[in-house]
Amino acid sequence: MDNKYKTQAEKYEYISKQHGGYYRHNFTDHAYLYNLYFPPKAVFTHLKDNIHNLVLNYPMAQDALAELIGEIIAQPADRIVVGNGAAEIIKIISGQLAKKIIIPVPSFNEYANAAPDGHVVEFPLEFPSFQLDVDKFAAEAIKVGADIAVVVSPNNPTSILVPKADLIRLAQQLEGHNCMLIIDESFLNFADNKEQISMEQDMVKYPNMAILKSMSKAYGICGLRIGYLLTANREFAKEVRNGIHIWNINGFAEEFLRILPSYKKEFEASCELVKSDRDMFYEKLCAIEGMTVFKPDANYIFCRLPDTALSGPEITKRLFIKHNIYIKDSAGKTQPDATRYIRIASRTNKENSKLIEALKDVMYLKSESYE
């Protein structure tokens, strides 16, 4: 592939418009949210050993794929819809099913981006804590006549989760108002006590609730594109399933799901390593003078820059041009003072430490040029 840039500044402009393929461009990616410790080598060896069958044959269709996910999460297959990443399911929910969708902001932009104009209501999180007041959220959802309410927990970009008791109360308040509650648990594997705070095993009690999960983040398989919806509301599951074409998952993703139960211990250990790195990273970020660092529940950290520091977009650009490190600023998010915030994915301890030093180097105005 011929590079589309000649200088590091041109490389930044090119990369900042992309949505992946970063591994081709030789920089440290603190923007996308991977589990760097999974899958183990044995998974790749298995896929390589079976590559002929996986390439030459049609993959399985939806009902059989749902059974594979069901084995992983201990749920009946008829409650599950398997997507080509969570993004495919989001597109169906936001773009086809929702007449009016309400979303706390800032959040993952795709829920709003996938919806037609005029179908989205943005509900501001409490500022400056970025906590979700579920009672106000429920009242607003009912007031605007939303038929879909979305909560991402832990949230992206804030890395803050919504307590389980609050989610249950929210579901109960929305019940009877023809409003489905979608809880996106894509990053919950990196939270403490995830079994106690996940709604997966309690979901059957709440027919107006569905759980959405991208497997890319927790399982480190962004290129395989697997996500799923789980709900006890079989009518809603059917509506989502009707939006999915017959062979939406490729053979590599199917085979990964088939062998995944054999690697449960390795997966749990990988999540603990991610959490350990993140917790040390959090402490180092907190030590930067003037930085407001939000305690993370996911594998990334949300920060408010010191008032005297440069803006988020300027720091993001400088980090890349001078240190070849890429992070995300919040300039495109719906929130007050958006340009004062950055989101940094946690990587290995060595990489995290390098980022801390690079961040300190570029945070304040100096005479050197970054063009």
Are the C-beta atoms of 206 and 232 separated by less than 8 Å? yes
Tokens (6 digits) for 158 = 């804030």
How does the average pLDDT of the chain come out, rounded? 96
Tell me how crowded residue 72 is: count the other CB atoms within 10 A of its CB.
16
Q: Which one of 3.90.1150.10, 3.40.605.10, 3.30.70.360, 3.30.70.260 gives the CATH number of domain 8-40+265-362?
A: 3.90.1150.10
DSSP structure class, residue 295: P
Predicted confidence at residue 332, as pLDDT, reads 86
pLDDT score recorded for residue 89: 98
pLDDT score of 239 more than 70: yes
Please, which pLDDT band fits residue 299 given cuts at 50, 70 and 90?
very high
- C-alpha to C-alpha distance for 60 and 333, rounded to whole angstroms: 38
Mean pLDDT to the nearest integer, 290-297:
98
pLDDT category at 370 given cuts 50, 70, 90 is low
Once rounded to an integer, what is the mean pLDDT over residues 212-235?
97
Q: Reply yes or no on whether the pLDDT at 214 is more than 80.
A: yes
Q: In the chain, what is the straight-line distance between the N-terminal and C-terminal CA atoms, in Å?
A: 25
pLDDT at residue 354 is higher than 70: yes
> Three-state SS across 333-362?
CCCCCHHHEEEEECCCHHHHHHHHHHHHHH
Report residue 369's pLDDT band, with 50, 70 and 90 as the boundaries: low
Which pLDDT band holds residue 62 (cuts at 50, 70, 90)?
Answer: very high
pLDDT surpasses 60 at 1: no
Asked if residues 16 and 321 have their Cβ atoms less than 8 Å apart, the reply is no
At residue 270, the 3 state secondary structure works out as helix
The pLDDT tens digits of the residues spanning 187-204 come to 999 999 888 899 998 999
What pTM was estimated for this model as a whole?
A: 0.95
Count CA atoms within 13 Å of residue 260 on its CB side.
25
> What's the pLDDT band for 371 if we cut at 50, 70, 90?
low
Q: Which residues pair with 149 in a beta bridge?
A: 102, 181
Residue recorded with tokens 């399911």:
89
User: Given a cut of 70, is residue 119 above it in pLDDT?
Assistant: yes
Question: Which residue's structure tokens are 């995944």?
Answer: 260
Residue 209 has pLDDT above 60, yes or no: yes
Domains 8-40+265-362 and 43-262 share a fold: no
pLDDT(367) > 80 = no
Q: What's at 254, amino acid-wise? A: E
Is the pLDDT at 178 greater than 60, yes or no? yes
Total Cβ atoms within 10 A of residue 227: 24
User: Above pLDDT 70, what percent of the chain?
Assistant: 98
pLDDT in the model for residue 3: 76
- In the chain, where are the structural domains located? 8-40+265-362, 43-262
Extract the runs of DSSP E, i.e. beta strands, from 227-370: 227-231, 292-293, 300-304, 325-326, 328-329, 341-345
What is the predicted pLDDT for the residue at 115? 97
Residue 274: per-residue pLDDT: 98
CB-based contacts of 113, cutoff 8 Å, min separation 6: 94
- What one-letter code names the amino acid at 197? I
Query: Which of the four pLDDT bands, split at 50, 70 and 90, describes residue 2?
Result: low
Measuring CA to CA, how many Å separate 114 from each of 92, 196, 254, 363?
Answer: 8, 31, 26, 34
pLDDT number for residue 196: 85
Mean pLDDT of 89-103: 98
pLDDT of residue 365: 79
For domain 43-262, the CATH class is alpha beta
pLDDT on residue 259: 98
Res 194: pLDDT: 84
Q: What pLDDT does residue 195 have? A: 81
Q: How far is Cα 325 from Cα 354, in angstroms, rounded to an integer?
A: 9
CA distance 178 to 170: 13
Residue 77 has pLDDT above 90, yes or no: yes
How many other C-beta atoms lie within 10 A of the C-beta of residue 294? 21
pLDDT recorded at residue 339: 97
